[in-house]
Structure formats: structure tokens, C-alpha cells
Structure 1
Amino acid sequence: MDVPPDGGYGWVVVGAIFWNNAHHWGLVSSYGVFLAYFLSHSHFTEATSLDYAFIGGLSASQALLMAPFASVINRRYGLKVAMSLGVLLETAALLGASFSTKIWQLYLSQGVCFGWGLGLQYVSTIPIIPQWFAKRRSLAAGLAAAGSGTGGLIYSLGVNAMLTRFGYGWTYRILAIVQCVVNGVCLMIIRDRNKMTGTKTFNLKFADVVKRPELWLFWGWSFLSVMGFMVIWYSLSDFARSLGLTSHQGSIVAAIMNLGTIIGRSGTGYVSDILGRMNTASFATFVTGVLCLVLWTLARSYAATLCFAFFGGLVFGTFWMAVAPLATEVVGLRYLPSCLTITWVICVIPATFGEAIGLKLRTQGDREYLHVQLFTGFMYIGASICVFFLRMWKLSTNENMTSQPTSTVADSKDAAITSVEECREGSSIKTWIKVTKV
């Protein structure tokens, strides 16, 4: 069995994926600023608020829908070809959006085409981290995922300034040039280890694993987490507007949320390697729900909104950091690409309709976003229940494995129930953590 090097060139790969995430997920994150801008201007006279919400959702959902196609391209032509196509599509999408005068043109460019480019890059890179890391897998995944927050922080402030000065046309063109250059450099640096690990883009034997209830718990957590995530991600800038704040203050709110994401994703990854990936994911998901139901519903001022944006940013995007490490724990490294491919397809629905549902739940009057806040909070609470039961399954699996002969345990690992590192115990952790670390 190939052993991940847990370092070396792997850290270079992490850095490249970090900046790659910054220049596509960061751009998607900045759409919250575009959304607030379009809602307060009449550049597309035939468009409704629901149109703008669907465009933002399409960028994310089309990226996830591209998962099977990205897998096929990776298998036949390799990682570099898939990512190169992604960069070209993103560049074309942003240039197309810059010349859009009708809302359907923005649908096709910013929504569909950009989503395809994003999907080809993101889906291609997400299985790479587990190939390079075992003991530090969650830390590496967290650092790479923090690129999304970094890009969101940069672009949330930059996009608002450019929209004010140049309008949406030249803003899109500048973004097209920047992402093309940076992502082009990143794809030249990124390297996978598929040949060394024996990992396949899609394993037909995965059909035998699909029947397991723990996998459906994992997918339930994924579905509900993405639904809640999309609402918060795109709504905070407009929520600031609903409180009477300016567009500049709304961009600051989005930037603070992304600052929290930078700290939260890398910090959550570090903690996951110590306390267990399922423990951390369960706790972070539940805390996000509580923050939505308590702190966000009470946010009635600029300062309170900034407070929620920061603390919510620490934990609300845990899914994107934890999805690959948790999938590895559930199905093993051998079936990881197959599991993630189906996970992305399942998440297409919440990614597409999450923000549209959020905007439709808005009401008139003093508490315009109250129903949105409650809906989002309960989505995360439901997700935390799924991962809690998944954690219970993992504990029972570990107990069964420790009671089996060594050869049987090895066979179970080879069958992709767990990886070598998932069954180890850290000698520096307290006994309680040792027992419950999953």
C-alpha cells in the first residue's frame, strides 16, 4: 500500500490549490457583492431578484454538476487538461458577462459557463490532498480550503471598489485577466499521485458501498450543509442593505465573513487532526446552526452583523474543508473519487435553489430576513444530526475492529472502510479523546 509522504512537494501542491481556490471560489463569493449591486441598480430591466439569486446558485451548482464529466476528462486526458479547460471556460465566462446586456446572457456566462470552469478545476483538485497527506490530511485540506476565504476577502473589497468606479463591465474584464494568470500558474504546479496510489476516477465496485447507511448519513450532512451555506454566502451583503447599511458597508460584511473563513478553515483542519474529523465537523456544523438561530436573528446593527459575519465565517463553510477527509473515513481512499463524484451531484439541488429559497423567504417590514435566518439555522442543525449519527457509526466500527485479529483489521482497511491513519491514536491526547477520536 502506498504511504502518503505527509509533506515535501505536498505542501507546494497545497499552496497551489490554495491560490487556485482563491481565484475561482473567491470570485463566486464576491457574487454576493454583485447581487447587492444588481438589486440596487437597473442594468437588466427585465430581471427580478430571483433571477440574480439563480445566477449565483448556478455558478456553484454547475460546478458540482460537472463532477462526472471532470472525472471522465481526468481519466482519459489527465489533470492538466481538465484544469486547463476550466481556466479557459472561466475566462470566457467573465468576458462574456462583461458584455452582457440581457439577463439570459448573464445566466449563460456568469451562471453556467463560469460554473463549468469552476467545476473542472475544483473537482479535479479536491481528491489530491488525501493522496499527499495522511496524518496531516485535515490540516492540509483546511489550508487549501482557506484559499476560498482569502479570495473572497480580496474580491469582496475589490469588486465593490471596481463596481463603484468602473461599472460591472470592466469589473468582469479585470477579474477575467487576473484569474486567468493566477490559475494558469497554479495548474502548472499542481501534481497528483494517482499512479502511485492506484486511485481511479470512478470505481465500479463502489456500487456495493452505496447501500451502506453511513454513506447516506454523509450525503445528508452534505445536502443540508450546502443548502444552509448558499443562503449565508450570498445573503449577507443584501442582509446588510436590508438594515439600511451602504453598499460599502455590505462589502465590509462580506470581507469579514471571508476573513473568518480563512481562520476557520485552517484552524478547523488543525483541530480535526487532533480531536477527530467527525467530532470537529459535528461540533462546527451544530455551532453554525446555533449562531444563525441566535446571533444572526439578533443582528440589528452594523456592529452585530460584523460579529455574526466573523464568527459565522469561522464555522459555516466547514463542509468544503471536511468533505474529502470525511469521505475518506467513510469509504476509504480507493473509493474517494467515486464517493465525491456522487456527492457533488447530490449537492447540485441545494446549490442551485438554496439562495433562491432564501430570497423568497424574505418578508416585508422590520424583520425582512427572519424566516431566512430560521431556515438556515435549522438546515445546519439537521446537518449536525446526520454527522452525529455518522460519528456513532464510526465509534462502533472502531470498537469492532479493535476486537478483531490483526489480519482481519488489515483486510478491513484494504476493503476501504478506513485508512491506516484513521485507526491510530495520538499518545499526547487524553484518554477520553483517544477513545472518542473519530
Structure 2
Amino acid sequence: MSPSARDITSSLHTQEHTTGVRSREERVSKCGALNAPRLPERGLHEPPDGGPRAWLVVCGAFFVWFNSWGAINGFGVFMSYYQLELLPSYSASDIAWIGSVQNFLVLFIGSLSGPLCDAGYGSYLLAVGGLINVLGTMALSFASEYYQVFLSQGICVGLGWGLMFTPAALLPARFFRRRLPLATGIASAGTGIGGIVYSIVFSMLVKRPDLGFPGAVRVLGLLVLTTSLFSTIAMTGSGMTPSKRCRQFVDWTAFTEVSFNAYLIGGVFTMIGLSAPYYYANLYAIETRITSAQLGFYVVAAMNAGSLFGRLVSPFLALRAGVFNTFILAYIASAATCFCLIAARGIGPIFAIATLYGFSSGAVVALSPVTIIRMTSDPELIGTRMGMSFALPSVGVLIGSPICGAILQSTGSFTTVWLFSGACLVVGTACMTGCRIAQTGLVLRKNV
């Protein structure tokens, strides 16, 4: 072979080798690009993790939590008043349906409004939800029959807060990343303060002859009006521009993840058991003569005071120990203190246990949205998955308190109520532990 022929052959071999290497590199690059998590347009820039606008959104979210879950956690004082004064012919289970339906609608309607919030319609949800809340609360002030209370407080108010709650749960994630547990904890602290305010204000005003039940509820309605208006103004325009892109109501790929399925199952059992002490603790204190009727109303206030501190402290613990680790510890403490209610036989113990239960259960609720956000790799799907995490557990909320009421009616003992509630929380703890293991494996000391 002549030198020129050898040169041509060598050149061809070199070119072929280079082309082959380049094509392999291109295939690897393309494969990596396909397998890499897609970064949505909204996620191209890191959240500011603070700033006046971000904290204004947190303040707006605070008052949504204040009215929605604050009113729900304060429902125990309404329940006692209904059973002892307004609706004495109805059983505890019947009255519990009012609060459980309200609670159910907050979560279930929230599951439907999640994708709408992702699509940029959060401002409309806040405005419409606030209007419905005010109308429902004012309608409650005219109620004197069971069906009237059920429709106004259970259906109307529950629907309104369901529309407002998801934007309040989601929007802090658009402004915070590293300090998201702190921002969410501050916002959810509104539940504890709201529960205290609703419990004490209603208990004090309903006893006044010049106000009674109608006047007390109208004062609360004025509170709902002002705080809802502030929340709507504070959170409107916070990256909630309507989008033409069609949003999913269900992310079917989530059901292929063991961690998400464990979270959903645990959420159902948690919601069955978590609200029982908030509904029945003050009734327990009054009917077992641990406290007087006047003092018994403040058991729920003590529980909400504990909830306030739980929601404020748990984010700092989560920043140091990890969200999942703190979440599971809060579950364990909630189950333990629920069982401790069985042994509460004096004023000191009932208030102490109520406060501790409020602290641990408040931490559970405060860290729930952060846990879902941590499990969602695509920020575009946070609203959808948040909604999904509300939908199934909302069934537990719906049936939990009426089941406890039926247990109380059939056994005549609060001990069985606390046993049932605590057992549900134990199952929830096991499921959330499984969720954590599915996410990180059996590494106990890992900060997650």
C-alpha cells in the first residue's frame, strides 16, 4: 500500500473513531438530559428566602390558618354549647357531624383547588372563599335548628375555607426554600392563636345577656371579614398569574411511589384520631366533673395554646434535625399524650395533658405541607400533590369525630374514645415511619 493510501486509510479510521466517540457522548448526553429532572420555568430562579413581599404572604397565610383550622380546633366550645344549650336533643355524634363536615370540606375542596392555584387562579380562590365564609358565619348567627347550623357552619363555612386554604399552604413555597419550614410554621401558628381566640371569645360573649349566641357569632363574623380581606390583599399577585397550560388534578405517577402511598394511608388514620381530643376534651372535663362548666371551656383554649407553640417550635427543630425526623417524633408524642388523657383525673393533669397534646398535634399539622413539598421533585406538581394529600385523608376527617361520638354514646365512657383515637395515631405513626424509610432507607441519623 502506497504512503498516500496508508494516510487516507489512517485518516478514515481516525475520523470513524472520533465520530463513534462523539456519537456515544451525544447519546449519553441526550440520555442524561432525558433522565434529569425537568426544571420548570418558575424554578429557574431560586426563591428569595425572605424579603418584605415574602413575609407579607406569610402574614396573609397566617390569617387563613387562623380562621380555617383555628375555628376547627375551637369547635369543641361550639359542640359543648350546642349539646348543653342550643341543641340538647341531639347526641354528641350528631353534633360532631357539623364540625367533621366542615373539616372534610376544608381538605376535600382544598384538593380540588390545588391545581387551580398552580394554574394561577389563587387570587380568585381567596376572594370567593372569603366572601362565602362571611356569608356562612353571618347565616349561623340566625340559626336555631340543627339543619340551619349544619348548612351554615358545616357546609358554607367549610366550603369557603376549602377554597382559601390551599393558596395559603402553597404560596410560602414560592418565596422560601431553606427557611420554608420556618415560614410554614409561622403561618400555621395562626391555627393555635385562632383556636384560642375563637374558644375564649365565643365562651365569654355567648354568656352575655345582651349578645347571646347570635351576637357572639356576629362578632366572630366581623373578625372573619377583616382577616379574610387582609389575607386576600396580602397574597393577591404573589406569582399567581393565570396560565393557559392545563393542570392535572391527579398525578398518577405519585401512586407508584411507596413513600407517597404510605403518607396517604397514614394521613387517613391520623385524621380519624387527631381531632377527637379537640372535640371532646372539654366535654370530658365537664361531664366527668374534673372542672366546672365555665372552666371546662378553657381546656380547648389550653390545647390551642400548646398547638401555637408546637407550630412555632417544630420548624426550628426541623431545620436542625430534619423535617421527616421531627414529623415522626411529633406523631409519637401525639399518640402518647392522647393515651394519657385516660389518666387525667384533676384540673392540673387535664390542662397539662391538653397543652402537651396541642403542642405535638400542632407540630404534626405544621410539618405536613412541608413534608409533601419535600417529597415532590417537580415544583409544577406541588399544588396537585398537595391536593391529593388532602383528598384521601379528608375521608378520615369526615368519619373520625362521629365515630368517636358513636363510641361514647354506646359505651358511655371517654376511655374508649381516647383508646380509639390513640390507636389511630399509632397506625399513622407507623405509616409515616414507612414513608421516611422509603425516602431515605434505614439510616436513622440522617437529617431528612
Common fold by TM > 0.5: yes
Q: Mean Cα displacement is larger for which, 224-233 or 251-260?
A: 224-233
Q: How does 1:47-126 map to 2 (within 5 A)?
A: 47-71=90-114, 73-74=116-117, 78-126=121-169
Contact 2:180 2:370 in 1 (8 A): yes
Match of 2:447 in 1: 437
- Kindly tell me: are residues 394 and 192 of structure 1, through their superposed partners in 2, closer, same or farther at Cα, counting changes over 3 Å? farther
The aligned amino acid for 1:276 is: G
Q: CA deviation at 1:317?
A: 2.9
Q: C-alpha offsets along residues 295-354 of structure 1, whole Å, 9 cap, x if unaligned?
A: 211101111110111111111133321121111122233321111111211122111111
Match of 2:18 in 1: none
- Kindly tell me: are residues 174 and 275 of structure 1, through their superposed partners in 2, closer, same or farther at Cα, counting changes over 3 Å? same
- Kindly tell me: are residues 249 and 312 of structure 1, through their superposed partners in 2, closer, same or farther at Cα, counting changes over 3 Å? same
Contact 1:363 1:369 in 2 (8 A): no
Match of 1:324 in 2: 369
Match of 2:80 in 1: 36
Q: How does 1:348-367 map to 2 (within 5 A)?
A: 348-362=394-408
CA–CA distance in structure 1, aligned partners of residues 119 and 261 of structure 2? 29
Contact 2:107 2:390 in 1 (8 A): yes
TM-score by length of 1: 0.85
Q: C-alpha offsets along residues 73-123 of structure 1, whole Å, 9 cap, x if unaligned?
A: 546772221111111111111111111122111111110000001111112
Q: Tell me, which stretches of 5 or more residues in structure 1 are unaligned?
A: 400-431
Q: C-alpha offsets along residues 17-64 of structure 1, whole Å, 9 cap, x if unaligned?
A: 1122212322222221011111112x3365332221000111110111
SS in 1 for 2:178: coil
- Kindly tell me: are residues 201 and 3 of structure 1, through their superposed partners in 2, closer, same or farther at Cα, counting changes over 3 Å? farther
- Kindly tell me: are residues 199 and 26 of structure 1, through their superposed partners in 2, closer, same or farther at Cα, counting changes over 3 Å? farther
Aligned pair partner of 1:315 in 336, 360, 371: 360
Q: CA deviation at 1:209?
A: 2.5
CA–CA distance in structure 2, aligned partners of residues 60 and 276 of structure 1? 29
CA–CA distance in structure 1, aligned partners of residues 184 and 205 of structure 2? 32
The aligned amino acid for 1:340 is: M
Q: Tell me, which stretches of 5 or more residues in structure 2 are unaligned?
A: 1-43
2:192 corresponds to 1:182? no
Contact 2:176 2:183 in 1 (8 A): yes
CA–CA distance in structure 1, aligned partners of residues 247 and 255 of structure 2? 13
Q: Mean Cα displacement is larger for which, 353-362 or 21-30?
A: 21-30
CA–CA distance in structure 1, aligned partners of residues 426 and 173 of structure 2? 28
CA–CA distance in structure 1, aligned partners of residues 88 and 432 of structure 2? 44
CA–CA distance in structure 1, aligned partners of residues 189 and 179 of structure 2? 15
CA–CA distance in structure 1, aligned partners of residues 419 and 256 of structure 2? 33
**Pairs aligned (count):** 399
The aligned amino acid for 1:176 is: G
Contact 1:225 1:319 in 2 (8 A): no
- Kindly tell me: are residues 212 and 74 of structure 1, through their superposed partners in 2, closer, same or farther at Cα, counting changes over 3 Å? closer
Aligned pair partner of 2:264 in 219, 234, 237: 219
Q: How does 1:141-152 map to 2 (within 5 A)?
A: 141-152=184-195
Contact 2:74 2:278 in 1 (8 A): no
SS in 2 for 1:66: helix
The aligned amino acid for 1:382 is: V
Q: CA deviation at 1:194?
A: 4.6
- Kindly tell me: are residues 285 and 201 of structure 1, through their superposed partners in 2, closer, same or farther at Cα, counting changes over 3 Å? farther
Match of 1:343 in 2: 389
Contact 1:142 1:265 in 2 (8 A): yes
CA–CA distance in structure 2, aligned partners of residues 24 and 205 of structure 1? 24
The aligned amino acid for 2:333 is: V
Q: CA deviation at 1:242?
A: 2.1
The aligned amino acid for 1:26 is: G
TM-score by length of 2: 0.83
The aligned amino acid for 2:67 is: H
